[in-house]
Amino acid sequence: MTVQRTLEVWKLGLVKYLDALKLQEKLMSDRKIGKVSDLVLSLQHHPTYTLGKRKTYHNLLIPESDLKSLGAELHYTERGGDITFHGPRQAVLYPIFSLREIGFGARKYVEGLESVMIEVASMHGVKARPGDKGETGVWVRDKKIGAIGVRISSGITCHGLAFNIDPDLGWYENIVPCGLEGKGVTSLKREVPGELPSDDVIHHQLIQCLARTFQFSNLQTKQDVPIL
């Protein structure tokens, strides 16, 4: 008998990075003890640079002291991956999943996140691909359109994916994106000659693809969820 599994979707809108980080930490702890079921946070961030657990500070190309005047923040995290940027018009999904319950190992989980962004890009006529060896995320030719950085603790996931809809790509000039020298960054808007649907529609497309990829049969959406 097929198990009917529900994915809870928290639509949070534009959220400060640190607020989302604290929320993920709480939900990760709650998921470990079964207080919440599998869920995904769907949001966008104010301009923020984040470093992964390897702390590759050298890939920030400007002094940290200059960031405030630019209107950006820098945060250190325990996710995998290198330095990246988050900002408005970039769709972010943070799945809080029990990998044991969905039957995915770590590598297969990351590949699933890649396939979600590749599928959404294809919906808009854009041919995207996983990175070559040593390249994380999702690419259109030699330019990155989607980043992945995850943390897994006791089989529970947090952090996730960031898909460029139409962010200001000038922000990436201040970093070596994901630590990959000589590689460019792109967005769905750059790759699609016509009009795009609203950001909300693209967020929903990502969520639907996420649900299919990880075999959730139902979606239950929460809006206006209070941030801790």
Alpha-carbon distance of 159 to 92, in angstroms, equals: 9
Q: Which SS3 state, helix, strand or coil, does residue 110 take? A: helix
209 is catalytic: no
13 is in an annotated binding site: no
Cβ(51)–Cβ(21) under 8 Å?
no
From the list 206, 185, 171, the residue with the least C-alpha distance to 74 is 171
84 is in an annotated binding site: yes
91 is in an annotated binding site: no
Exposure letters 85-100 (e unless 16+ CB within 10 A, then b): bbbeebbbbbbbbbbe
175 is in an annotated binding site: no
Choosing from 121, 138, 175, 178, the catalytic residue is: 178
80 is in an annotated binding site: yes
81 is in an annotated binding site: yes
Cβ(60)–Cβ(174) under 8 Å?
yes
For residue 209, what is the enclosing H or E element?
A: helix 199-213
State which amino acid sits at residue 109.
Y
The three-point CA angle 196-176-191 to 5° equals: 20
112 is in an annotated binding site: no
147 is in an annotated binding site: yes
5 is in an annotated binding site: no
82 is in an annotated binding site: yes
Helix axes 199-213, 106-123, angle to 10 degrees: 140
149 is in an annotated binding site: yes
Q: Which residues are annotated as a binding site?
A: 79-86, 147-149, 160-162
Query: Binding site residues for substrate, as ranges?
Result: 79-86, 147-149, 160-162
Q: Which residues are catalytic?
A: 178
